[in-house]
Amino acid sequence: MKGEADRPGPDASAPSSDPKAPRTERGRRTRRALLDAAAAEFGERGFHDASISGITARAGVALGSFYTWFDSKEALFCALVGDMSEQVRAHVAPHVRSAPDGLAAERAGLASFLGFVRDHKEIYRIIDEAEFVDPASFRRHYAGTAERIAARLAAAAGRGETRPPADPAETEVQAWAIMGMNVFLGLRYGVWSEDADLDAVADAAADMLKRGLGPGES
């Protein structure tokens, strides 16, 4: 989410042990087209008003072919949530990895996430609906993001780049706080309006983290 990551994750359009996973390049293209069409359909109409026929029409796929790849609209929605989580991770990861230190990594992660949101505003509606349509996917999305942030924070503290927590459990609290900040900054500056320079937003958030997490500061 809405969120960011810096470790490889599963590709929802790639082959897997799923019996419906595509085995050919043509199949992968078709499944990718359905996922992209679903993002547009669910993003515009919401889960309950969206239809399989609307999705297949957007994708340019025959209605009967839909069931080659997905058992139902619900199954496609669940796959889409995982796919969107992976898209965010893949977009943000290179920026995080290239940052010179832990605090810079969080700033880079936020800036790249905000840019992604401006190009994919539908992600907010889809992830939010997942809380009710597919709670397990909703929880995985946020829990996975928080775990990756926590791992980065722990590594940064170990390198002396941030103030080490008094209690290891503090790192999880910090990770969820950073993720929550990023989610709502994305809503304000990515979805609701584009009236602010994203670098300036990221700089302001990074300054707040530095003052709160910087080594030797209270």
Can you give the pLDDT at residue 200?
A: 98
Question: Between 86 and 16, where is the model more confident?
Answer: 86
Can you give the pLDDT at residue 216?
A: 60
Structure confidence by residue, pLDDT tens digits, 9-42:
444 444 444 667 777 898 899 999 999 999 999 9
3-state percent helix, strand, coil for the chain, nearest multiple of 5: 75, 0, 25
Contacts of 116 (CB under 8 A, 6+ apart): 87, 88, 91, 92, 123, 190
**Cα–Cα distance for residue pair 205/211, rounded to 1 Å:** 10
Structure confidence by residue, pLDDT tens digits, 139-188:
999 999 999 999 999 999 999 999 888 898 999 999 999 999 999 999 99
Q: Give the residue extent of every domain in the chain.
A: 15-71, 72-213
What is the CB-side half-sphere exposure of residue 191 using CA atoms within 13 A? 17
**Cα–Cα distance for residue pair 178/146, rounded to 1 Å:** 8
pLDDT over threshold 70, residue 202: yes
What confidence category does residue 123 fall into, taking pLDDT thresholds of 50, 70 and 90?
very high
Structure confidence by residue, pLDDT tens digits, 90-117:
999 999 999 999 999 999 999 999 999 9
Q: What is the reported pTM?
A: 0.85
Average pLDDT over residues 199-205: 98
Can you give the pLDDT at residue 21?
A: 76
Contacts of 122 (CB under 8 A, 6+ apart): 39, 40, 42, 43, 44
Residue 163, burial from CB neighbour count under 10 angstroms (0-12, 13-18, 19+): middle
Pick the CATH number of 15-71 from 1.10.10.60, 3.40.50.2300, 3.30.365.10, 1.20.1630.10: 1.10.10.60
Fold type of domain 72-213 = Tetracycline Repressor; domain 2 (1.10.357)
The answer to whether domain 15-71 and domain 72-213 are alike in fold is no
What confidence category does residue 56 fall into, taking pLDDT thresholds of 50, 70 and 90?
very high
Can you give the pLDDT at residue 128?
A: 97
